[in-house]
Amino acid sequence: MAISTPPSSSSDTGGGYQNPNKSLGFFANAMKRKHSFIQFFAMTGILLLSVRSLGQKYRIHDLQEDNAALKEEQEGLVNRMNHIKQSLLAEADIEPTGAFASRLRQLFGDES
């Protein structure tokens, strides 16, 4: 009878032996394809800058809308304050002594 060789014989290419073409590390592979990696990182940077720019564009648009709303609200408050001021002065003018109207004009800074 012939003696058979065990499956882990020296003729097997598995085990501790690795093909040097397949065992390149990340950095070795990067150095081998340096141009492709530089191009990849440049394109990734451009993409990230584009996304950031787009976000800033929408933020500026939102801030412009907020600014317009605040201006509108300020105009409404100024109109309301002027209306209250005119109403107070008109009511004070009705008083016969005129002391209240005089005091209101001093407070409001009116010279008329």
Per-residue pLDDT of the chain (112 residues; tens, 9 = 90+): 455 555 554 444 555 555 555 556 777 777 788 888 889 899 999 999 999 999 999 999 999 999 999 999 999 999 999 999 999 888 888 888 888 888 888 888 866 5
pTM of the model: 0.53
pLDDT value, residue 9: 47
Tell me the two tokens of residue 97: 């002594």
> Rg of the chain's alpha carbons, rounded to an integer?
42
- CA 110, CA 104: separation in Å to the nearest integer? 8
